[in-house]
Amino acid sequence: MEEQKDESRQANSEEATTDKIWNSTLRTFHSATFKANQYKRIVQKKIDLNAVQKKISAAHSDLGKTIDDMREAGEKAILSKADIKAMFSQLDSLKYTAESLVAEIEEIRNEEEFPEGNTPEEGDSSH
């Protein structure tokens, strides 16, 4: 009888150790995949941001050239021309897009791996 209790305790102890190892493995795997996915998303947003910044630079160039061409042609009230207003509108839109991408990058960086203390547990297939 005593022998069976010892075997039962030993089996429970081995099972608890196995569960701890498994949970630790799950947390490590989740952490690694979370960080990799987070890094991938940040890199993609930075690529998008770089493309938008190049468009902003090109739009600045186009705006400057158009204004200079109009000035040389002797046109008055250049800033009130429809072409110039459209270029400013396009620049504003691109700048807003760039600001949004910067904010999204910051949000991704600040994402928590385990929000509110939730960690992957044994049998939890959602992680």
- Pick the residue with more confidence: 8 or 109? 109
Closest CA to 55 of 105, 93, 86, 81: 93
Alpha-carbon span 108 to 42, nearest angstrom = 7
pTM for this model (two decimals): 0.69
pLDDT average, residue stretch 60-82: 95
pLDDT average, residue stretch 76-103: 96
- Per-residue burial over 16-47, b if 16 or more Cβ lie within 10 Å, else e, is eeeeeeeeeebbeebeeeeeeeeeebeeebee
